């Protein structure tokens, strides 16, 4: 089954929690804190898997999660890092953040892509020992792994794309110039999925040709199958427009030609400027007047025209050789640049950020890192509370509150913690 779109959920593994532990050994007094750090959570990694050209594997499995890191232990033992979750996809798959629409990666090369990073492991209490705080009774929990809703969209990698109305001979053409074996029959929409074939010109010289399911008028608006598969033409370096010059189904070949070109331009204006060759098929069924009329029309429009009879491979060699000549001079297959992560409208505080809102003199402060910090803080422990206050100062949260207009005595609310501001 050919599926070229899928939406999945991915999540990096959570980091392991740091340990609160104290060294205990006979004849060793006050051994001190020895809690180890938690392990790093695993990443979610996309890799390219050649030999597949469908996203059908994601039809039933839609949730992917990397392993969490193990918690730290006593004796400064670090937790084990979580294993990565590796997701193979066909070459040419685009990875989008479905929530924002941002393109995260184009899986056209061989480099793996880390889509969701695992969380860092939390520090054990051995990190917080100081000359004045010799018995830290707190540690840091692991950082949660990144989570995304991902949209996968496959755009096949092909050098040459065959376009044209249904039943004009595209499948027949690719079957005689390559080893591809598409279904061929005398009715519309015989080809329901794109078909790839490798066309070999000479020893060591070849290119990939794609048979795109028949496009009809209105395809760019979702009519027929064209809307589903027009995207697969985006990467093609060269287009071959196959036309039934005999008009065997009662249509005008020139009108067919213009309709398809309009649909390509409506779908993506860049396709209108893409190099294109015109293949006039079913010449044995056309009259001399029809053949001459179509040839003159193509010459007037500036297109290279190749008459052929694909069913008996007549004229296909000239077309294939010309494709090879043009491809040797054309740029490589198009790849898409990943988009940068958009800036978050938050108050910058060093390498961290917070959101501050004033509601009737109560200043609400929010930030993911602040929530994690609160989870590590034992508000009943003096040392832990002092550490929390120092982090607020050093991270710039206090300065951000002052810039927001807070006055001494105003209330600060950080999630479930409230206190009066003293500067």
Domain that holds residue 288: 160-327
| Residue 307 belongs to domain with CATH number | 3.40.50.300
Assess whether 223 and 371 both reside in one domain. no
**Within a domain: 342:** no
Rounded to 5°, the CA angle 103-108-109 comes to 115
Cβ distance 367 to 391 under 8 Å? no
CA distance 246 to 168: 10
Rounded to 5°, the CA angle 156-158-164 comes to 90
Quick count: other Cβ atoms within 10 Å of Cβ 193? 19
pLDDT at 350: 45
Measured CA to CA in angstroms, residue 333 lies from 93, 237, 328 at distances of 14, 6, 12
Of 294, 327, 360, the residue that ends a domain is 327
Quick count: other Cβ atoms within 10 Å of Cβ 389? 12
CA distance 65 to 8: 11
pLDDT at 223: 46
Nearest by Cα to 116 from 58, 188, 65, 79? 65
* DSSP-derived secondary structure letter, 147: E
Assess whether 392 and 300 both reside in one domain. no
**Within a domain: 285:** yes
pLDDT at 15: 92
Assess whether 279 and 357 both reside in one domain. no
**Within a domain: 340:** no
Cβ distance 246 to 283 under 8 Å? yes
Of 272, 295, 327, the residue that ends a domain is 327
Assess whether 291 and 373 both reside in one domain. no
Q: How many domains does the chain have?
A: 3
**Within a domain: 337:** no
pLDDT at 391: 86
pLDDT at 410: 87
CA distance 39 to 139: 14
Nearest by Cα to 243 from 323, 175, 178, 298? 298
pLDDT at 41: 95
**Within a domain: 333:** no
Cβ distance 290 to 245 under 8 Å? yes
pLDDT at 14: 93
| Residue 369 belongs to domain with CATH number | 3.30.300.350
Assess whether 173 and 149 both reside in one domain. no
Of 117, 135, 154, the residue that ends a domain is 154
Rounded to 5°, the CA angle 125-128-132 comes to 125
Q: How many helices (H) and strands (E) does the chain have?
A: 8, 19
Q: How does DSSP assign 53-115, residue by residue?
A: ---GGGTT--EEEPPPPPPP-STTPPPPPPPPEEEEE-TTEEEEETTT--EEEEETSS--EEE
pLDDT at 414: 84
pLDDT at 390: 86
Tokens of 153: 């969209």
* DSSP-derived secondary structure letter, 140: P
Cβ distance 244 to 294 under 8 Å? no
pLDDT at 344: 37
The kind and range of the H/E element at 198 are strand 195-202
Assess whether 44 and 117 both reside in one domain. yes
In the three-class reduction of DSSP (H, G, I as helix; E, B as strand; rest coil), residue 353 is classed as strand
Each of the 423 residues of the chain gets a pLDDT tens digit; together they read: 567 789 999 999 999 999 988 888 777 767 789 999 999 999 999 999 987 778 888 988 999 999 999 999 988 899 999 999 999 999 899 999 999 899 999 999 999 999 999 988 888 888 877 777 778 887 878 888 999 999 999 887 889 999 888 888 888 999 999 887 766 655 445 555 678 888 998 877 889 998 887 665 554 454 444 456 677 788 889 999 999 999 888 889 999 999 888 888 888 888 878 899 999 999 999 999 999 999 999 999 999 999 999 989 999 999 999 999 999 999 888 888 888 765 433 444 445 788 888 876 778 888 878 877 776 677 777 777 888 888 888 888 898 899 989 988 888 888 667 788 887
Assess whether 1 and 134 both reside in one domain. yes
Kindly tell me the sign of the dihedral angle through the C-alpha atoms of 122, 126, 132, 136: positive
**Within a domain: 335:** no
Give the relative orientation of helices 316-327 and 170-177 as an angle to the nearest 10 degrees. Answer: 80
Q: Which residue has the tokens 């790849």?
A: 335
CA distance 85 to 8: 14
| Residue 71 belongs to domain with CATH number | 2.70.210.12
């Amino acid at each position: 089954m050919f599926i070229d779109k899928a939406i999945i959920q991915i999540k990096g593994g959570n980091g392991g929690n740091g340990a609160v532990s104290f060294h205990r050994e006979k004849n060793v007094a006050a051994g001190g804190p020895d809690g180890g750090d938690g392990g790093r959570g695993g990443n979610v990694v996309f890799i390219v898997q050649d030999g597949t050209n469908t996203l059908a594997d994601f039809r039933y499995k839609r949730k992917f999660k990397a392993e969490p890191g193990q918690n730290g232990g006593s004796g400064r033992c670090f937790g084990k890092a979580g294993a990565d979750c590796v997701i193979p996809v066909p070459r040419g798959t685009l990875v989008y953040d479905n929530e924002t629409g941002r393109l995260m990666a184009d899986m056209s090369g061989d480099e793996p892509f880390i889509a969701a990073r695992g969380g860092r492991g939390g520090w054990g209490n051995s990190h917080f020992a100081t000359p004045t705080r010799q018995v830290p009774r707190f540690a840091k929990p692991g950082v949660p792994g990144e989570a995304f809703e991902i949209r996968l969209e496959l755009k096949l990698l092909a050098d040459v794309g065959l376009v044209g109305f249904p039943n004009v001979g595209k499948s027949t053409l690719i079957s005689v110039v390559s080893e591809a074996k598409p279904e061929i029959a005398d009715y519309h929409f015989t080809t329901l999925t794109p078909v790839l074939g490798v066309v070999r010109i000479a020893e060591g010289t070849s290119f990939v040709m794609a048979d795109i399911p028949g496009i009809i008028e209105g395809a760019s608006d979702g009519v027929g199958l064209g809307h589903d598969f027009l995207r697969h033409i985006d990467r093609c370096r060269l287009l071959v427009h196959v036309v039934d010059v005999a008009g065997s189904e009662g249509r005008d070949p020139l009108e067919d030609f213009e309709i398809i070109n309009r649909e390509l331009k409506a779908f993506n204006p860049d396709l209108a400027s893409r190099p294109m060759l015109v293949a006039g098929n079913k010449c044995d069924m056309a009259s001399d007047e029809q053949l001459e009329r179509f040839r003159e029309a193509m010459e007037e429009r500036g297109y290279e025209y190749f008459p052929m009879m694909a069913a008996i491979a007549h004229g296909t060699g000239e077309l294939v050789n010309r494709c090879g000549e043009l491809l040797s001079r054309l740029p490589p297959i198009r790849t898409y640049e990943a988009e940068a992560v958009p800036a978050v409208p938050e108050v910058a505080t060093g390498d961290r950020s917070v959101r501050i809102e004033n509601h009737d003199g109560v200043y609400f402060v929010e930030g993911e890192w602040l929530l994690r910090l609160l989870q590590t803080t034992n508000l009943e422990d003096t040392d832990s509370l002092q550490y929390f206050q120092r982090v607020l100062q050093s991270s710039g949260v206090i300065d951000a509150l002052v810039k927001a207009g807070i006055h001494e005595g105003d209330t600060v609310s950080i999630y479930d913690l409230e206190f009066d501001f003293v500067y």
